[in-house]
Chains A and B, each alone.
Chain A
Amino acid sequence: MPLLKDNDFIDDTWQRLDDGAAIPATGDILVSLARLLADFGKLSNRDGRLGVEFPNEERPGVLESFLPDLSLIALTFPKFADGRAYSQARQLRQLGYDGELRAIGDVLPDQLSFMLETGFDAFEVTERFPEEAWEQAASSISLTYQSAAYQPRRLHVWRLRWARDEGV
């Protein structure tokens, strides 16, 4: 599946490691939470970056002590209407995680801006939609009424007002 990052389709260099599979000596690997908890020692002492696919029902707090060693956290949308990962993303950013936060599962253009606002910066997407559809979806609304969690793209209405009223 293509990976959308910074408005571009790029190749996914990460390798998904099955729970029983041997740990390769090099390369970036993405493991399950169970594997992370079981094999963290080995996983963190190798030549290559480490990522975890984090389940929908878990509390992001369990990752807190691992965050410095993680370069990718994948959060899942089992159905696009299941919005738990938005809150998980927000909590992870609040915990100070600043590596790649990837949305996987049922990821559609119409939810892209919500994902960006809550702290996602990479998206595993289907080829059904052309690149323009994603770009358009992310930019169709330029304003937001919420203070953004992370790297805001849209302009915050309340701050704009403040600036206007101060004559800044």
Chain B
Amino acid sequence: MYRYDEFDHRFVSERVAQFRDQAARRLSGELTEDEFKPLRLMNGLYLQLHAYMLRVAIPYGTLSGKQMRKLADVADKYDRGYGHFTTRQNIQYNWIKLEETADLLQELSEVEMHAIQTSGNCIRNVTTDHWAGAAADELADPRPVAELLRQWSTLHPEFSFLPRKFKIAVTGAPNDRAAVKVHDIGLRMHQNDAGERGWEVIVGGGLGRTPLIGYTVREFLPETQLLSYLEAIMRVYNLHGRRDNKYKARIKILVHELGEENFRAEVEAEFARQKELDVEVESRELERISNYFAEPAFETLPRLSTGYEAARAGDPAFAQWVRSNIAAHRKDGYAIVNISLKPEGGIPGDATSEQMRTVADLAERFSVEEIRVSHHQNLVLPHVKLDDLHEVWKVLAANGLASANIGKAGDIIACPGLDYCTLATARSIPIAQTISRRFADLNRQHEIGPLRINISGCINACGHHHVAHIGILGLEKKGVEYYQITLGGSSATDASIGTILGPGFSGDKVPDAIETIVNTYLNLRQGGDDSFLDVVRRLGHQPFKEALYAPA
């Protein structure tokens, strides 16, 4: 894992001191709320319906046991004993006081964490594959580059007042778990015939009001040119992105309005003018960072563990959890453990401080101290020995963390919605809770197979409903909430945007509608390997429409 050196420490401390001063000037009235707003936003502090919300950055979703324990302490001391893991691999606290925020940030800085650029019209926390460094299918760990991007984008003098927020995702694996095609910039690692690493640069994807799949502006960019090229893209966007309408201000609209070819020509022309970036300094820094991400000292283990096999055979609940929550590790004898934060009827992504401490302990005992946050609002222990899996599972189960539903109907992504968010048009958490209860039977979830249900509480689409197999969008008409359903989205390698099925439903009808859709799928599928998404792609919306809107 990356560790701060004296310079990173000094930078973050100075930043906290600066924020302390800004908050004091706001509290004394020297700064107007209008002037303070972008400053607090650049430190992750939002004003929500009931209180301030603080979003803390978890760079590329990686954290240590010690950091997780600090997040738990912060939850107890400054919030109400819990935190909310987000779809951007961050954590949010919903009940924060402005007067206490600088102290909170100070505490975070002690464990090398901050809230810089978790909001505002700047480059946000860079996200990546939550299995990075562990996945069996990976070319190389993308996190050194993600850390390089974190540093480069931090308080970037030129790109801190962009037309709109800017999100970058990075993946080092052919199977895309970082949703690189639906980010402002997505980077996918490739290797050429000479064995050199380079990056495919994808631009202009995004969700929100105008969901679009990004397009490849460069097929293979040599790694040494990465920052210069990104600066060129950012500059074109900063100069020419729309500022007259915030709903048209994302880079995807600029790409769309200019056209892909013109946009590429602008970027290449700007790139050709970039002379001053110091490539040598940059590659030295990348090398320095890479050392922190050297592979942990894994033991040489047999591929099979007899203890683990025996536990699986003897304990059906454990065996079921293994089937859904364990992924292949690149090293023999190890596994990736996915911890579901989606218990039956729970709030997706919420964890109590006690649960955070449990996960921190497990990371320290069984996963070389490492934890990941996934953009599905779950947690990951990336490096667990097969021999230890049963023990890990028992501890998780005792703490309400062993739901065997990763990637299944119960693993619902939901934004905060009307319960917290000022922009919401409808509730999303309660809808997630009722659907989760409806599909409580784990055997049934496993029978249904891979299914991604995502819910957003308004058109801004923070719940990523467009890229869900079944997407649910909460809207409001004449004071009444209703929900629109989309089918066929995906954020994986073959990304697609879901399309609307038909007229919306009131909240209490949504679980029935989902159930009808799922039953229709079960009737249509040709065997257990024929997934929900496969069937929707093959047969289209028609059979689902017929089932859902048939006259009673």
Contact with A along B31-49 (1 / 0, CB 8 A): 0000100110000000000
Q: Which residues of B contact A84 (CB under 8 A)?
A: 238-239, 243
Task: Give the one of A80, A84, A91, A145 with max B CB within 10 A.
Answer: A145
Instruction: Write the A144-165 contact mask toward B (1 if CB under 8 angstroms, else 0).
Output: 1111110000001111111001
Q: Is there contact, CB below 8 Å, between B10 and A83?
A: no
Given A82-B243, A86-B157, answer yes or no on A108-B35 (Cβ-Cβ < 8 Å): yes
Q: Who on chain A is nearest to B273 by CB? A: A94
In this assembly, does B288 line the interface, its C-beta being within 8 Å of a C-beta of chain A? yes
Residues in A with CB closer than 8 Å to B239 are 59, 84, 87-88
- Interchain CB contact under 8 A, A80 and B38: yes
B303 near A: Cβ within 8 Å? Answer: no
Query: A118 within 8 Å of B by Cβ?
Result: yes
Q: Which residue of A lies closest to B280 (CB)?
A: A162
B158 and A140 contact, CB distance less than 8 A: no
- B155–A141 touching, CB < 8 Å: yes
B158 touches A143 (CB 8 A): no
Chain A hits for B235, CB < 8 A: 87, 90-91
A86 near B10 with CB under 8 A, answer no
Q: Which secondary structure dominates chain B's binding surface?
A: helix
Enumerate chain B residues within 8 angstroms of A87, measured Cβ to Cβ.
158, 235, 238-239
Interface string of B137-166 (1 = CB under 8 A from A): 000000000000001101111111110000
* Given A140-B17, A162-B281: A114 in contact with B160 (beta carbons within 8 A): yes
Question: Given A88, A145, A148, which contacts B151 in the complex, CB threshold below 8 Å?
Answer: A145
Known: A90-B235, A160-B7. A81 touches B154 (CB 8 A): no
Interface residues of B in 157-184 (CB under 8 A from A): 157-162
Return 12 A-B CB contacts under 8 Å, by A number.
A82-B243, A83-B121, A83-B158, A86-B238, A110-B35, A140-B17, A144-B155, A145-B156, A146-B156, A147-B277, A161-B7, A165-B288
- A-B complex: 8 closest residue pairs judged by Cβ atoms: A83-B161, A117-B157, A114-B157, A145-B151, A140-B18, A86-B158, A158-B285, A157-B7
Contacts of A91 in B (CB 8 A): 235, 273
Q: Among A83, A116, A147, A161, which residue has its beta carbon within 8 angstroms of that of B160?
A: A83
Smallest CB-CB separation from A83: which chain B residue?
B161
How many whole Å from A91's CB to the nearest CB in chain B? 8
Total chain A interface residues with beta-carbon distance under 8 A: 40
Picked from B14, B38, B159, B275, the residue with its CB within 8 Å of the CB of A140 is B14
A156 vs chain B, min Cβ distance (A): 8
B275 touches A143 (CB 8 A): no
- Whether B5 and A83, one on each chain, are in contact in the complex, defined by CB atoms closer than 8 angstroms, is no
Query: Considering the complex, which residues of chain A in the window 80-137 have a beta carbon less than 8 Å from any beta carbon of chain B?
Result: 80-84, 86-88, 90-91, 94, 108, 110-111, 113-118, 136
Contacts of B278 in A (CB 8 A): 147
Q: Which residues of A contact B299 (CB under 8 A)?
A: none
List, in ascending order, chain B residues with CB within 8 A of A110's CB: 22, 35, 39
Question: Which residues of B sit under 8 angstroms from A143, Cβ to Cβ?
Answer: 7, 10-11, 14
Contact B17 A147 (CB under 8 A): no
Query: Is the CB of B372 closer than 8 A to any CB of chain A?
Result: no
Determine which of B17, B157, B282, B288 lies in contact with A113 in the assembled complex, contact meaning CB atoms within 8 Å: B157
Mask: chain B, 415-455; 1 = CB below 8 Å from A; 0 = not: 00000000000000000000000000000000000000000
Is A44 part of the contact surface with B, judged by Cβ < 8 Å?
no
Do the beta carbons of B285 and A161 come within 8 Å of each other? yes
Could you say which residues of chain B place their CB within 8 Å of the CB of A157? Answer: 7-8, 11, 151
Check B154 against A145 for contact (C-beta < 8 Å).
yes
A144 smallest CB distance to B (angstroms): 7
- Considering the chains assembled together, what is the distance between the CA atoms of A117 and B14 in angstroms? 17
B7 surroundings in chain A (CB, below 8 A)? 143, 157, 160-161
Residues of A within 8 A of B (CB): 59, 80-84, 86-88, 90-91, 94, 108, 110-111, 113-118, 136, 140-149, 156-162, 165
Complex contact B281–A145 (CB within 8 A): no
Tell whether, in the assembled complex, residue B285 and residue A83 are in contact, meaning their CB atoms are under 8 Å apart: no
> Per-residue 0/1 for B272-296: is the Cβ within 8 Å of any A Cβ (1 yes, 0 no)?
0101111001101100100000000
A83 contacts B162, CB within 8 Å? yes
Interface assignment of B21: CB less than 8 Å from any CB of chain A: yes
A83 to B151, Cβ gap below 8 A? no
> Any chain A CB within 8 A of the CB of B15?
yes
Indicate if the CB atoms of A80 and B277 lie closer than 8 Å.
no
Task: Kindly list chain A residues whose C-beta atoms are within 8 Å of the C-beta of B11.
Answer: 141, 143, 145, 157
CB within 8 Å of A: which of B13-71? 14-15, 17-18, 21-22, 35, 38-39
**Which residues of chain A are near B276, meaning CB under 8 Å?**
94, 147, 149
B275 touches A118 (CB 8 A): no
Cα–Cα, bound, A147→B21 (Å): 27
Tell me, rounded to whole Å, the shortest Cβ–Cβ distance linking B484 to chain A. 33
Complex Cα distance, B425 from A92, in Å, reads: 45
How far in angstroms is the closest Cβ of chain A from B184?
16
Q: How far is the CB of B229 from chain A (nearest CB, A)?
A: 15
Residues of A contacting B15 with CB < 8 Å? 141
A116 to B158, CA, bound (A): 10
B266 → A minimal CB distance (Å): 10
Tell me whether A144 and B14 are in contact (CB under 8 A): no
A37–B28 Cα gap in the complex (Å)? 48
Contact A161/B14 with A83-B162, A146-B157, A147-B278 known, Cβ cut-off 8 Å: no
Q: Are A158 and B159 in contact, CB atoms less than 8 angstroms apart?
A: no
Given contacts A81-B121, A145-B152, A145-B154, contact A86 B161 (CB under 8 A): yes
Cross-interface CB contact of A80 among B161, B281, B285, cutoff 8 Å: B161
Closest to B281 in A: A158
Which residues, 215 to 249 on B, are CB-close (under 8 Å) to A?
A: 235, 238-239, 243
Shortest distance between the CB of A76 and any CB in chain B (Å): 13
Chain B residues lying within 8 Å of A149, measured Cβ to Cβ, are 157-158, 276
Which residue of the partner chain B has the closest CB to A154?
B157
Contacts of B5 in A (CB 8 A): 161
Report chain B residues within 8 Å CB of A115.
157
B157 touches A118 (CB 8 A): yes
Neighbouring A residues of B156 by C-beta, 8 Å: 145-146
A165 CA to B282 CA, complexed, in Å: 14
